[in-house]
Amino acid sequence: MDKAEAKKIVNNYSFPTEGGSYMGGIENRPILAKSIDRTVTDTEGKEYIDFQSGQMGAALGHQHPRMIKRITETMKTMFHSSNTMLNVPRLRLHERIGKLLPRLPRSVFLVSGSDSIEAAIDLARKATGGLDVLGFHAGLHGSTSYLTRSLSFNWNRRKHAVVAPATTAIMAPYCYRCPLGLKSPECSFKCLDISLELADANFTSKPAAMIAEPILSAGGVIVPPKGYYKKLKRELEMRDMLLIFDESQTCLGKTGKVFGYEHEEVTPDILTMSKHFGGGLPISAVCTTDEIAQKAVDNGYFATRSHATDPLLCAAGEESIDIVVEEDLASRSAHIEKKIKGAFEEMAKEHEMIGDIRGRGVLLGIELVKDRETKEPANDALAKIFNYSLEHGLIFQSRGTRGMLNVIRLVPPMTSTDEEVDRALSILNDAIDEASKTLGKKTSAAAAE
Ligand SMILES: Cc1ncc(COP(=O)(O)O)c(C=O)c1O
């Protein structure tokens, strides 16, 4: 299929989609036809390094050979089954996750990330008898049209027809742009104190939970400062509220540890995972303690979908966990993080537009600014870098907090080789050089040379 035919189909039969202003029109987007390992190929035969890991579902790489083997074997025996009966892959997956998360040994399975968030919030509400839920103003938790969108404050809630009641935002700890002009840790997380004082005033009922990502991915790869989550957990406990960690983007190796929460000195009460959990197939999980599961069930809790316990999806979940653990992909992520951050630190010596380099493992963000003092977001530079990279065979996504699109988000598959990372970095280096010629400026050190 060529671009002209694709454009005709999109214009006549698909819903009009924006796709992000940095991407340009339909003609600018490849029509993907094939994927393997870390590479996707379009209908014209052009190859791209996929530093977006599909839609984050291919963090093991596309079509990992062990995933193909396991899925093929399972397909031959049973791929769909009743969710009121038991089946072996489902049972094995419960056990596998329980052993991986001994403090949160109880799990339920669903299909999408949004499903898991809906189910996690219902779980918190049934376990606490509360209703109000807090989320970060730069957070994203899904696209179901009611609850998860209402908690995705990084999008415009006012675009939705109806917003779910008892959902309130608190200020994300976005230290690079601290609205109080403070520095952590000396600030003692003042933003949290102010946010919670406001939240206390806003609650419309007994509060139930706070939902948070260990790294706020879509909000611009924001990493909360060390100690922030520990204080948040204490504050929540004082209010009998639960901490839900949405680990859709941070679970299973991606941050350099098996779970994102392992970087913090807290264990959440409820943890959700999705995206690459199924190794490319859609399955999600909600995990919690014995006590929370029991309390919630006593109050009528249940969560499922027709396909939630399909043997095919559960076997995929178990295999992907085995791959992450047996191939030690967390260490591989940590190695890739070092390589990418090191390369950008070098580029930052020359290019003023590189304002901040952050993230963990294979969830990294480079925030672009017009000026390091004023920190004016460099959305134009990012659009140029995106287009140059796409043209030269590299895919990534642009993200940012509430309307800013100035963060290069790099999510390479954990299985990326050094050679692939170097190739992607070389394209990004050239793209930044090009963008600097028209939109950026050199750092004073580079200009003096
Ligand atoms: C942190 C986070 N939570 C939840 C979701 C929703 O997942 P899904 O699109 O599978 O419903 C996303 C999607 O990008 C996400 O980034």
Residue 25 pLDDT more than 90?
no
Residue 133: per-residue pLDDT: 98
Q: What is the pLDDT of residue 445?
A: 73
Q: Residue 333 is encoded by which pair of tokens?
A: 């992520």
Q: Read off the pLDDT of each residue in 98-123 and give the average, rounded to a whole number.
A: 98
Report the separation in Å between the CA atom of 270 and the middle of ligand 1, taken as the mean of its atom positions: 16
Residue 274 Cβ < 6 Å to ligand 1 = yes
Establish how many alpha carbons lie within 13 A of residue 127's alpha carbon, considering only the half-sphere containing its beta carbon: 23
Alpha-carbon gap, residue 127 to 292, rounded angstroms: 6
353 lines ligand 1 (CB under 6 A): no
444 has a pLDDT exceeding 80: no
Pocket test for ligand 1, best of 117, 143, 150, 248 (most atoms within 8 A of CB): 248
- On the question of a common fold for 3-63+328-448 and 65-326, the answer reads no
Residue 24 scores a pLDDT above 90 = no
% residues pLDDT > 90 (the chain): 88
Lowest mean pLDDT among 19-28, 48-57, 108-117, 185-194: 19-28
Return the bridge partners of 398, or none: 408
Query: What average pLDDT score do residues 132-154 get?
Result: 95
pLDDT band at 448 (very low <50, low <70, confident <90, very high): low
- What DSSP character marks residue 256? S
Q: Is the CB of 218 under 6 A from ligand 1?
A: yes
- Per-residue pLDDT tens over the stretch 320-355: 999 999 999 999 999 999 999 999 999 999 999 999
pLDDT over threshold 90, residue 27: no
Atom of ligand 1 nearest to the CA of 282: 10
Q: In this structure, what is the dihedral angle of CA atoms 113, 117, 118, 119, given to the nearest 10 degrees?
A: 100
Rounded Cα–Cα distance for residues 198 and 203 (Å): 9
Give the model's pLDDT for residue 2. 86
306 CA to centre of own chain: 25
- Is a pLDDT exceeding 80 seen at residue 441? no
What whole-number distance in Å separates Cα of residue 400 and Cα of residue 392? 24
If you count DSSP H runs as helices and E runs as strands, how many of each does the chain have, helices first? 14, 15
- Per DSSP bridges, beta strands 167-170 and 132-136 are parallel
User: What does the DSSP assignment read for 264-319?
Assistant: TT---SEEEE-GGGGBTB--EEEEE-HHHHHHHHHTT-----TTTT-HHHHHHHHH
The mean pLDDT value for 95-121 works out to 98
What is the average pLDDT across 291-312? 97
Structure tokens at 177: 């742009």
- Cα(79) to centroid(ligand 1), Å: 24
* pLDDT (average), residues 86-102: 98
Query: Mean pLDDT score of the chain, rounded to an integer?
Result: 95
Q: 71-80 — which CB contacts under 8 Å span 24+ positions? A: 71/281, 71/312, 71/315, 71/316, 71/319, 73/315, 74/311, 74/312, 74/315, 74/316, 75/312, 77/311, 78/311, 78/312, 79/310, 79/311, 79/312, 80/307, 80/310, 80/311, 80/312
Helix, strand, or coil (residue 97):
helix
CB of 343 closer than 8 Å to CB of 349: no
Question: Is residue 207 within a helix (H) or strand (E), and if so which, with residue range?
Answer: strand 207-212
Q: Hey, where are the domains in the chain? A: 3-63+328-448, 65-326
pTM of the shown model: 0.96
Cα-Cα end-to-end distance for the chain: 50
Residue with tokens 């069930």: 297
Q: Distance from the CA of 141 to the center of ligand 1, in angstroms? A: 5
Asked if 272 contacts 245 with a C-beta cutoff of 8 angstroms, the reply is yes
Question: In percent, how much of the chain has pLDDT > 70?
Answer: 98
Give CA–CA dist 22/387, Å, rounded: 8
CATH topology of domain 65-326: Aspartate Aminotransferase; domain 2 (3.40.640)
Which of helix, strand or coil describes residue 198?
helix
Residue 443 confidence (pLDDT) = 77
For domain 3-63+328-448, the question of CATH label 2.60.40.10 is answered with no
Average pLDDT over residues 3-12: 86
Instruction: Enter the DSSP assignment of 392.
Output: T
227 closest CA partner among 269, 177, 191, 256: 191
**Residue 169: pLDDT above 90?**
yes
Per-residue model confidence (pLDDT) at position 402: 86
Q: What is the pLDDT of residues 380-408, one digit of tens each?
A: 999 999 999 999 999 999 999 988 899 99
DSSP category for residue 351: B
Spatial distance between the Cα atoms of 447 and 449, rounded to a whole number of angstroms:
6
State residue 20's pLDDT score: 63
Is the C-alpha dihedral spanning 252, 254, 257, 261 positive or negative?
negative
240 vs 132: CA distance, rounded Å: 12
Cα separation of 283 and 55, whole Å?
14
Q: Quote the pLDDT of residue 159.
A: 79
Contact 139, 212 (CB under 8 A): yes
State which ligand 1 atom lies nearest to the alpha carbon of 213: 1
The pick from 52, 115, 143 for probing ligand 1's pocket by mutation, whose C-beta has the most ligand atoms within 8 angstroms, reads 143
